[in-house]
Amino acid sequence: MKVVAFARKELGTGASRRQRNAGMTPGIVYGGTEAPVSISLDANALFYALKKESFHSSILDLEIDGKSEKVLLRDFQMHAYKQQVLHADFQRVDPNQKIHTKVPVHFVNGDASPAVKLSHGIISHVTSELDVSCLPGDLPEFIEVDLGNLEVGHSIHLADIKLPKGVSAVQHGGDENPTIATATAPGGAAAAADAAPAEGAEEGEAK
């Protein structure tokens, strides 16, 4: 995905405000062996690009004044109530060095699973993205999780997912095999809790 930017010479709060008033979004490119470069991007184009899932998890071709380099979107700030991007950060990537980033999870075949089709259960998506490490060329736009065999009372964990070639999961918080999705019976614990007082009331009425 190509992103067009321009080198930004005027820095500071006032300069950034003027950029935004002119329909541009200030940003920065950092990383690698080169010095950080302050840039500006078309605000409208950036706003709509941020709506695309792939923009957040793909290697981008960032063109600055005609010179192109490979980058990852690392951060962006939105206005508190306006549909306006205040700032965007991009990190240069080396094709020979592994990167660490988040990749969205796409769940498939949930409606065809025994949990839903046979037991009318509910599948909960516990996570929507995974932390991964890989070379830039191996970075997937998303990771697919097949729910086709999931049954009520069971879960899918990280170890159950087949990651793309060259991609490894990065763990945080001590949980080596976190839950990705889980299936529960319709109503679950809430239904059982609601049923208990009702049964007690019926016994009281019978007495």
| Long-range contact set of residues 19-25: C-beta below 8 Å, sequence gap at least 24 | 20/84, 20/86, 25/85, 25/86, 25/87, 25/88
The whole-number pLDDT of residue 10 equals 75
The whole-number pLDDT of residue 35 equals 86
The whole-number pLDDT of residue 98 equals 92
Measured CA to CA, the distance from residue 77 to residue 89 in angstroms comes to 9
Terminal-to-terminal C-alpha distance of the chain: 73
Task: Tell me if 142 sits within 8 A of 105, measured CB to CB.
Answer: yes
DSSP category for residue 176: S
The whole-number pLDDT of residue 198 equals 44
The whole-number pLDDT of residue 188 equals 58
- E strands of 56-207, at which residues? 60-64, 67-78, 85-92, 99-108, 122-125, 129-134, 143-146, 155-157, 168-169, 179-184
Measured CA to CA, the distance from residue 164 to residue 42 in angstroms comes to 34
Buried-exposed string 80-119: b where 16+ CB fall within 10 A, e elsewhere: eeeeebbebbbbbbeeeebbebebbbebeebeebbbbeeb
Contacts of 89 (CB under 8 A, 6+ apart): 27, 28, 30, 73, 74, 75, 76
Decide: pTM greater than 0.85.
no
The whole-number pLDDT of residue 173 equals 64
Phi/psi at 154 (5° precision): -115, 165
Q: What is the pLDDT along the chain (207 residues), one digit of tens a residue?
A: 888 888 887 777 888 888 888 888 999 999 888 889 999 999 999 999 999 998 998 999 999 988 899 999 999 999 888 888 899 999 999 989 999 999 999 999 999 999 988 889 999 999 999 999 999 989 998 999 999 999 999 999 999 999 999 999 987 666 778 899 999 998 754 444 444 444 444 444 444
